Chain A
Amino acid sequence: AQSVAQPEDQVNVAEGNPLTVKCTYSVSGNPYLFWYVQYPNRGLQFLLKYITGDNLVKGSYGFEAEFNKSQTSFHLKKPSALVSDSALYFCAVRGYSGGGADGLTFGKGTHLIIQP
């Protein structure tokens, strides 16, 4: 069974500083990894994904994520945080069992709070 862990319920960062939101995963076979963001009273928006290729993936709003196969991690990063980045972030993994793509499994989410 596939699983995702987001070890931090909340991450606090000062505006302008770099941010990291951690994610580790477990899946059989090659991982297909995703980050979603949820702003208050909104649905989930796609940020970025890792399928194959470069370990550093760039996405929306200046976010990027680093895939590390040996550590089974997919941490979300941004070089300079904005107050508007404050939101709930979800990491997700999708397995592929040969018979078709499996469902997405989500982590519990990390609240990112950017302080002015």
Chain B
Amino acid sequence: SQTIHQWPATLVQPVGSPLSLECTVEGTSNPNLYWYRQAAGRGLQLLFYSVGIGQISSEVPQNLSASRPQDRQFILSSKKLLLSDSGFYLCAWSLQRTNEKLFFGSGTQLSVL
């Protein structure tokens, strides 16, 4: 069965520090991968999506970047965090051929102080 791992679960970082959030998927090949951000208990804002290794599309201009160094690994990064980067970050995957369902990780609560 497929599983998705996302870590860390919580993170407190000072303004101006770097960020690296990692997401890995097991049990499937060549998935679509996504990074979403969620403001306190509200809807999901798509940040990045990827259809293959090294293929990253960005939905909104921002202080963040994403990379996909391996088929089932998706990394969200920042060189210098801003206060506005605080939020709940969710990684998700879907099957390439149907893309009907998204399977989410358990999320990372990032607080930038």
Specify whether A and B are partners. no
